[in-house]
Chain A
Amino acid sequence: MERLGRIVSVTALALVILFLLLPILVVVPVSFTEAPVFRFPPEGFSLQWYEKIGRVDGLLSAIGLSARLAALATAISLLLGTLAAIALVRGVVPGGAAVTAFTLSPLMLPGLVLGIALLQAMREIGLRDAWWSLLLAHVVITLPFVMRTVLSSLSLFDFSMVDAARTLGCSYPVALWRVLVPNILPGFVSGALFAFIASFDNYPVSMFLVDVRTKTLPIALLNFIEISPDPTLAALSTGLIVLTIAVLFLCDRLVGLRRMASI
């Protein structure tokens, strides 16, 4: 009976992985098709759709915008989040547990609700600039991701190690740099990674805050799907997937995917 359980669970895992990868993998061969249709199996081999990415109106600028937005939002969140995490773990913050829950709460709310709320608020105060609205919103989106992992890292960190470093001759800042930073780096990196992805891929919030000239990539993609879908989408998607895998690889080299997995 135990063996049965093992077979069931392994089969389930195999099915899950296949199922999860299916829509992602199917996009790749389609991107190389010759015909402007999404037929499978694709006919011929052509790189024309990759080339077309650059020519589709607004696609490249959307990519640039999303990347800048995500990077900036993540950076701000890292700063605000790390400071807050230090305060919550090392300092005495009145209502500490409630404050922690509050900083993590944007994660638990439907993104659309947040988008609508921010749209309303922006109108009320008369902020019409899409870029600034997006940035303000995306910091709210990314902050909880950073808080979650940095808090977890910090609370697992044994601060007596810093004391030990000081007794061995390091000054306080040097001890923090040499001992604290390397140990919370996984929390930092995985938080930054989650935050960046959350911002880059975000639709529900961005959808309300973009305007005709300022579009994030998900919005541009959806417009493209609705108006004139062709395998350029597949090419772009493939590019994004490859990029993501490369980033995951990089994180594994820097910090170790295993370490990130346990956080």
Chain B
Amino acid sequence: MRRDPLALLALPGVGYLVIVFLAPLLLLLYASVRGPDGFSLDGYARVLGDPYYRGVIGASLQLALITTGGALLLGYPAAFALARARGTTQVVLFALIFLPLTVSIIVKSFGWGIVLRRDGILNWALLNLGLIERPVRMIFTEGALYAGMINVFLPFMVLPIYAVVRMLDPRLPDAAATLGASPWFRFTRVTLPLSLPGVVAGVSLVFSLSVAAYVTPSLLMGDRYMTMSMVMAKAFLNLRDWQLGAAMAAVLLVVALVVVVGAAALQRRLGGR
């Protein structure tokens, strides 16, 4: 086989990633089974066996599920409205959804804290509207955490769905109508199935991002809601327990991989039909 000289252009980039990305990851996996006396599965035993750490894994999954569900509920119809907009309006709306992505997660979480404080904007509005008599404690509640997470990850749900919905052929619902399909039937049997690739992309993206959340939970809940990432950070930075941290990291990696591979497989099935 003749070697294509053009293909060599990929060498610097790919080579870089192999050295600086793949190798360290493999090293990490190795560290997860390297105990003080050589090979040991102690790290995994603790991470998967200890009820505390199991609880943390469960908490991370729960957080990811709620965040993904909330983002889907809000983001799905919003993506349709965005796709239906025309001209300058659409560009502006798109920019408004894109802008939060460019703002640092720290700024956003911090801003969310300001919104929720006892002397913050939400309490101020509720008081002035006469809906409550005294400021309500919202900060450091799980509700606030979920809202904050959804706030951070919502654009990652809206944009992939929007990308698919705007490509939908408008004549397909028309054709369904001429065949006697009611508006509801048209939505559930034509529009919804055809929007699924976008939904899969959005759901997998938001889930894999939110299951690894660190900044938002630590800013909004602190140690009261421990996620896998927070355990990892603690293990490495504070406890210097390499094996534990590496094992937790491996678990997180597996979860992320399952989501990515599962989504890709789903996409293939959806696209192939």
Quick check: do A and B touch in the complex, using CB within 8 A? yes
Question: Hey, which bits of chain A sit against chain B, CB under 8 A?
Answer: 1-2, 5-6, 8-13, 15-17, 19-24, 26-27, 30, 37-41, 79-81, 83-84, 86-88, 90-94, 99, 102-103, 105-106, 108-114, 116-121, 124, 136-137, 139-140, 143, 147, 197, 200-201, 203-204, 207-208, 217-218, 221-222, 225, 233-234, 237, 240-241, 244-245, 247-248, 257-258, 261
The chain B residue sitting closest to A110, CB to CB, is B212
B8 within 8 Å of A by Cβ?
A: yes
* A13 adjacent to B77 (CB under 8 Å): yes
Counting CB contacts under 8 A, is B68 at the interface?
A: no
- B-side residues, CB < 8 A to A, are 4-10, 12-14, 16-17, 20-21, 23-25, 27-28, 31, 74-78, 80-82, 84, 91, 93-115, 117, 119-121, 124, 150-151, 154-155, 158, 182-184, 187, 208, 211-212, 214-215, 219, 229, 232-233, 236-237, 242, 245-246, 249, 252-253, 256, 260
Give every chain A residue within 8 A of B212 (Cβ-Cβ): 110-113, 204
Within 8 Å by CB of A20, from B84, B91, B100, B183, lies B100
- Tell which of B4, B9, B78, B103 touches A9, judged by Cβ atoms closer than 8 Å: B78
Q: Please determine whether A108 and B27 come into contact, CB atoms closer than 8 angstroms.
A: no
Contact with B80, one of A9, A84, A203 (Cβ below 8 angstroms)? A9
Chain A nearest Cβ from B160, distance in angstroms: 13
Q: Which residues of B are found within 8 Å of A244, using beta-carbon distances?
A: 99, 102-103
User: Quick one: which of B20, B106, B155 contacts A203, CB cutoff 8 A?
Assistant: B106
Bound complex: CA A147 to CA B233 (Å): 29
Which among A84, A139, A217, A237 is the interface contact of B14 at CB below 8 angstroms? A84
Quick check: B10 and A84 within 8 Å, CB to CB? yes
Closest 9 CB pairs of A and B: A91-B6, A23-B111, A110-B212, A84-B13, A87-B10, A121-B24, A12-B77, A13-B81, A80-B13
B78 touches A40 (CB 8 A): no
